[in-house]
Structure 1
Amino acid sequence: MTTTSLLLVARAPALVEDVPVPAIVDGTPLVIVRHGEQVSVFHGLCPHQGSLLADGEVVDGHLVCPGHGWRFDCASGRRDAGTRACLHRFTTHLVDDDIAIDADELQAFHAQRAGSAAATRRFDSLPGPHGLPLVGNLFQLRETDQHLVMEDWADEYGSMYRIRLGAYRILMVADPALVEDAFKRRPDTFRRMSTVEGIARGLKAAGVFTAEGDEWRRQRKVVVQALTHGHLKHFFPTMMRIVARLQRRWEQAADEGREIDLLDDLTRFTIDVTSTFAFGQDLNTIEGHEGALERQIGEIPKALSRRVTALVPYWNYVKLPADRTLDRALVGIHDTLGRLITDARRRLAEDPGLAARPGNYIEALVAQSDGGGFSDEDVTGNVMTLMLAGEETTARALAWLIHFMCERADLRDMLRAESDALLGDDELLQDFATHPRMVRIEAAALEAMRLKPAAPVLRLEALHDTVLGDVEVPARTPVFLLTRHASIRAQAATGAAAFDIERWIKADGSALDAGSAKAFFPFGAGPRFCPGRFLALLEIKGVISMLCRNFELERAGSGPVEEKLVFTMRPDNLVIRLKRRAGTPPAA
């Protein structure tokens, strides 16, 4: 071996003990860890679901995956004693102050991972539903329940089948192992459909959610740092003040005997939380203080839903009334965010110490981005991404969980017992350190998201000719992942269609079982695991513990609660009635 066969991965003086450092060498993600006197270079993806290990942390000599908490020894890469899972550890070489690995070893690692998989089936040989000339299966899919039709087709035609929507020939995947494989092979083999990125850019809402390739890597580093545990801990008291506001709204409804449109109330809550977290302005929609910005932001999900399902980008040629309303909303949003970003830069210039204790997401993004080529447009896109994710996904996850609580008395009793035990005499969660102990509430949230995910269909496309399973996938082929169907198939032997939080909890009941997350994708999987998942789970724990501690609940209204896909999957016709628990005083 000569120095010419070595590949530089890091500079030794730049390594800080117990701080994981990412690197990409020859397209391979790596993570470098210095623990004590030893420096280790590992493959950078967790063998569980492919999360980026450099986004994790080192605890007690173990590198902890940010996805589901798998722990790997910093010296050997081995997971817990007695298990076979292990990170590949590359032989490290110190040349002057450079940490390097051997190019031949990396090539051998690539060859081993590639294996001998080869296509045995052509795309055109796959089964699928018959369609019409020109339009294919387009008229067999309705916008709001297309996911149900696609899942029915998976039952009929198998875990890999094909459909056609106009000119698009689409590979449908419901096999859990192949869904997970596709997640892990992002962003270099599969990407979000390019039409989605184009639509987001047209809305000037392109952030880490829609970015791809090197652009995604650049943005993700900044966004992850802006959503750290420390920033969430700093924000926690503010979030709980908004939970208290929701509690007062529900107390008033209970005292008046009024029915509650649950999704509307929860959307107000998540808008208030995300607006305050994002740019330090509490819109206070819970108390009816709806302003122009809230109405303007509300136009974005509607536009995304219309445009993602459109066969042609008609808005580039003809503006319908809804498109003109959207254009006016975008002008208002970007004027507001532009002022907020300018103000954040001014505050950081006046007080450089603010970079270590930012008051909101914009300040955190600006602080992380200064000198790193992160533009105001990048900040705007990621703030809008956070607003949309908060309003859409977290509100719907909460609504579906409360729906299951209405249906299951045993679930209500279990979550109430945990809330009572952890909150004591308090009506709300007061201590940030308590939330990790809400094991059953988190397990219930995960189970609700497993059965009622915000995105039951994820639309990707192949960047180049590749193979998925045993099927050849030509470049630019759309690949639709049926994530909910895959999850239920993966755990069919355990009664996967039933709501059961015990599947998520260790046998002794002490903690979540990270290994239970097989084929479960509400926050994605692979390198693009959602960086905002901890904020979402913190909101869910705050609201559910408040609800259990203070109220009795029951379903109101009549008729079934139905799934309706409007950009994300929402519950339709979900109305509840609340009653104060015995011992709670009426509102003054």
Structure 2
Amino acid sequence: MTPPKPVPRPDRVSLLRYLRLFRQDILSAQPARLYRAWMAEFRTPFFRSYMVNDPPLVDLVLKERPDDFPKSDRIGEGLRPLLGDSVFLTNGETWKRQRRIIDPAFEGGRLRDTFPAMWAAGQAACDRIGPGEVEVEAEMSHAAADVIFRTLFSIPIEHEIAAQVFAQFRDYQRTQPLLNIAAFLPLPRFLPRGHRRRTKATARSIRDLITRLTEARMAEIAAGTAPDDLATKIMTTPDPATGETFTTAEMVDQVAIFFLAGHETSASALAWTLYLVATHPDWQARLAEEAGALDSCDFKVMSKLKLSRDVFREALRLYPPVPMMVRETTCPETFRGRDVKPGAQVVLSPWHLHRHTRIWDNPDGFDPARWQTEGGRDCMRRAYMPFSAGPRVCTGAGFAMVEGPLLLSMLLKRFSFEAVTGKTPVPVAHLTVRARDGIHLRVSPR
């Protein structure tokens, strides 16, 4: 069974029609030819945009000369009300300082330390899910949020403030697209940025709640009573270059992106993974057998979840949570013989790169076995970037590659999942790649 993908638009539509489609869903606004193109140019009266699918060009932008291709402010237009000046949006020296403080919290040894919290969140998810038809996107959002709060602040999702943040974020993520209209129009700073009133109000509410958590942790650190979790580690790590730590305001920005990146993206990936195994019972049976190794809360068990890791990796290929990234040129460039001026937008699309018909064998098919072949490993090196690549690779990539296979295995040890007839999910891009009407599966105890 071929996993579903959006129906792309015709190759040529008017700018107004494109903007309307884009507002509804980034993915279905794109033409089918992008799945085979090495590069495509998009023109508006205000700027030029270039989608780059050619692996050497992707490497140039993300790995070889990343400082020459900073993140575009057009991304920030849509997300800044929630994320402020978080590491996801900043550039240059500000971004480098933030990464110097944040990265040590996600090193290998710290992943081992967070494993018991992930395990507890997985057990709680299994206890919550009941038999019958289940909308798994909502369930995985709950589970992923629980993981974040347990690992970041040592509190479960049932904690009063954690529960409020989660509830508010459910409202936020369905009203805020990855890019808003200000990404396309050169609006003066004094004009509104095109945010919905509800979106801005919800962002303020979420940030107020995060501020309460952060201020409480600052007080615990000062009193010497703070738990040794990710929040404490980040808030007490000095910048090796200056000796400074994050202020409370700076930490609020970072917690906002940790919650977005660590909850929204993980929920998307886990929900699509469950759909894929529900529609491929042969793989589900193999994973359930492998999950028998989960007999205790021991980080060493991750070395036994090889199939689960490959299945999760394949789900990230087919449904990368962040479907597109935007960089900006700072100097004249030449891409595939075409002159590109400074200020042009460079779109890097994991969604199209991961399904590129001139790179991948069976690009739209679900085939976890590909990762154990030389061809699959070569494609992973050249054209696989669910967590971005280069210096700006997601700092939580290792975290996600423990959380995803672990929760998948815990769920499949307890339950079997079947697709619901007539409810095939259609992927759309909100903040991440989600299903238009949710992902409905029939859940049965094993």
Q: Return the TM-score normalized by structure 1.
A: 0.66
Q: Which range moved further: 290-299 or 556-565?
A: 290-299
Larger Rg belongs to: 1
1:130 and 1:137 in contact (8 A); partners too? no
Q: Quote the offset at 1:327 in angstroms.
A: 4.3
Equivalent in 102, 119, 143 of residue 223 of structure 1: 102
Could you give the per-residue CA deviations for residues 8-54 of structure 1, whole angstroms, max 9, x where no partner exists? xxxxxxxxxxxxxxxxxxxxxxxxxxxxxxxxxxxxxxxxxxxxxxx
The answer to whether residue 394 in structure 2 is matched with residue 520 in structure 1 is: no
Equivalent in 214, 217, 224 of residue 341 of structure 1: 214
Equivalent in 125, 143, 157 of residue 269 of structure 1: 143
Q: Quote the offset at 1:302 in angstroms.
A: 4.4
Counterpart AA for 1:164: R
Report sequence identity in percent.
23
Please give the residue correspondences for 1:169-188 in structure 2 after superposition, counting only pairs within 5 Å.
Answer: 169-185=48-64, 187-188=66-67
The structure-2 alpha-carbon separation of the partners of 1:263 and 1:166, relative to structure 1 and needing over 3 Å to count, comes to farther
Could you give the per-residue CA deviations for residues 422-465 of structure 1, whole angstroms, max 9, x where no partner exists? 22xx3xx5211111331111111111111111122222211222
- Which residue of the partner structure matches residue 368 of structure 1? 237
- Which residue of the partner structure matches residue 6 of structure 1? none
Alpha-carbon distance between aligned partners in 1 of 2:205 and 2:25, rounded to the nearest angstrom: 32
The structure-2 alpha-carbon separation of the partners of 1:151 and 1:536, relative to structure 1 and needing over 3 Å to count, comes to farther
Could you give the per-residue CA deviations for residues 458-481 of structure 1, whole angstroms, max 9, x where no partner exists? 222112222233322211101112
The answer to whether residue 372 in structure 2 is matched with residue 505 in structure 1 is: yes
The answer to whether residue 302 in structure 2 is matched with residue 435 in structure 1 is: yes
Classify the secondary structure of the residue corresponding to 2:49: strand
Please give the residue correspondences for 1:466-545 in structure 2 after superposition, counting only pairs within 5 Å.
Answer: 466-489=333-356, 492=359, 494-505=361-372, 516-545=380-409
Could you give the per-residue CA deviations for residues 540-560 of structure 1, whole angstroms, max 9, x where no partner exists? 122111122122221124142
The structure-2 alpha-carbon separation of the partners of 1:136 and 1:471, relative to structure 1 and needing over 3 Å to count, comes to farther
Q: Return the TM-score normalized by structure 2.
A: 0.86
- Which residue of the partner structure matches residue 147 of structure 1? 27
- Which residue of the partner structure matches residue 259 of structure 1? 133
Counterpart AA for 1:414: R
Equivalent in 370, 394, 400 of residue 272 of structure 2: 400
The structure-2 alpha-carbon separation of the partners of 1:351 and 1:450, relative to structure 1 and needing over 3 Å to count, comes to same
Alpha-carbon distance between aligned partners in 2 of 1:401 and 1:414, rounded to the nearest angstrom: 14
Counterpart AA for 2:277: M
- Which residue of the partner structure matches residue 87 of structure 2? 208
2:161 and 2:209 in contact (8 A); partners too? no
Counterpart AA for 2:257: T
Classify the secondary structure of the residue corresponding to 1:146: coil
Q: Quote the offset at 1:300 in angstroms.
A: 4.4
1:206 and 1:385 in contact (8 A); partners too? no
Q: Quote the offset at 1:513 in angstroms.
A: 5.6
- Which residue of the partner structure matches residue 125 of structure 1? none
Alpha-carbon distance between aligned partners in 2 of 1:515 and 1:291, rounded to the nearest angstrom: 40
Counterpart AA for 1:362: A
Q: Quote the offset at 1:187 in angstroms.
A: 3.1
- Which residue of the partner structure matches residue 411 of structure 2? 547
Counterpart AA for 1:383: V
Q: Quote the offset at 1:517 in angstroms.
A: 3.5
Counterpart AA for 1:279: F
Alpha-carbon distance between aligned partners in 2 of 1:497 and 1:304, rounded to the nearest angstrom: 28
Q: Which range moved further: 189-198 or 240-249?
A: 189-198
Equivalent in 210, 220, 223 of residue 350 of structure 1: 223
Counterpart AA for 1:278: L
Unpaired segments of 5 or more residues in structure 2? 1-9
Alpha-carbon distance between aligned partners in 2 of 1:359 and 1:303, rounded to the nearest angstrom: 35
The answer to whether residue 261 in structure 2 is matched with residue 389 in structure 1 is: yes
1:401 and 1:445 in contact (8 A); partners too? yes
The structure-2 alpha-carbon separation of the partners of 1:304 and 1:499, relative to structure 1 and needing over 3 Å to count, comes to same
Counterpart AA for 1:365: I
Alpha-carbon distance between aligned partners in 2 of 1:516 and 1:328, rounded to the nearest angstrom: 41
Alpha-carbon distance between aligned partners in 1 of 2:39 and 2:75, rounded to the nearest angstrom: 23
Equivalent in 249, 258, 279 of residue 377 of structure 1: 249
2:82 and 2:204 in contact (8 A); partners too? no
The structure-2 alpha-carbon separation of the partners of 1:330 and 1:413, relative to structure 1 and needing over 3 Å to count, comes to closer
The CA RMSD over aligned residues, in Å, is 3.1
Counterpart AA for 1:369: P
1:137 and 1:165 in contact (8 A); partners too? no
Alpha-carbon distance between aligned partners in 2 of 1:307 and 1:491, rounded to the nearest angstrom: 28
Could you give the per-residue CA deviations for residues 387-445 of structure 1, whole angstroms, max 9, x where no partner exists? 0112221111111111110111221122122212x22xx3xx52111113311111111
Alpha-carbon distance between aligned partners in 1 of 2:440 and 2:112, rounded to the nearest angstrom: 33
The structure-2 alpha-carbon separation of the partners of 1:321 and 1:502, relative to structure 1 and needing over 3 Å to count, comes to closer
- Which residue of the partner structure matches residue 412 of structure 1? 284
Alpha-carbon distance between aligned partners in 2 of 1:289 and 1:339, rounded to the nearest angstrom: 8
Q: Quote the offset at 1:232 in angstroms.
A: 2.4
The answer to whether residue 112 in structure 2 is matched with residue 233 in structure 1 is: yes
- Which residue of the partner structure matches residue 576 of structure 1? 441
The structure-2 alpha-carbon separation of the partners of 1:348 and 1:190, relative to structure 1 and needing over 3 Å to count, comes to same
Aligned residues: 430
Q: Quote the offset at 1:237 in angstroms.
A: 1.3
Q: Quote the offset at 1:493 in angstroms.
A: 5.9
- Which residue of the partner structure matches residue 157 of structure 2? 283
Q: Quote the offset at 1:578 in angstroms.
A: 1.3
2:149 and 2:162 in contact (8 A); partners too? no
Q: Quote the offset at 1:381 in angstroms.
A: 1.1
Alpha-carbon distance between aligned partners in 2 of 1:477 and 1:379, rounded to the nearest angstrom: 32
Alpha-carbon distance between aligned partners in 2 of 1:293 and 1:551, rounded to the nearest angstrom: 29
Could you give the per-residue CA deviations for residues 72-93 of structure 1, whole angstroms, max 9, x where no partner exists? xxxxxxxxxxxxxxxxxxxxxx
2:210 and 2:256 in contact (8 A); partners too? no
- Which residue of the partner structure matches residue 560 of structure 1? 424
The structure-2 alpha-carbon separation of the partners of 1:489 and 1:176, relative to structure 1 and needing over 3 Å to count, comes to farther
Counterpart AA for 2:26: Q
1:557 and 1:576 in contact (8 A); partners too? no
1:556 and 1:577 in contact (8 A); partners too? yes
Alpha-carbon distance between aligned partners in 2 of 1:490 and 1:436, rounded to the nearest angstrom: 32
- Which residue of the partner structure matches residue 96 of structure 1? none
Larger proportion of strand = 1
Alpha-carbon distance between aligned partners in 1 of 2:325 and 2:146, rounded to the nearest angstrom: 28
The answer to whether residue 54 in structure 2 is matched with residue 168 in structure 1 is: no
Please give the residue correspondences for 1:97-136 in structure 2 after superposition, counting only pairs within 5 Å.
Answer: 130=12, 132=14, 135=15
Equivalent in 38, 63, 74 of residue 159 of structure 1: 38
Classify the secondary structure of the residue corresponding to 2:42: strand
Counterpart AA for 2:60: D
Q: Quote the offset at 1:533 in angstroms.
A: 1.1
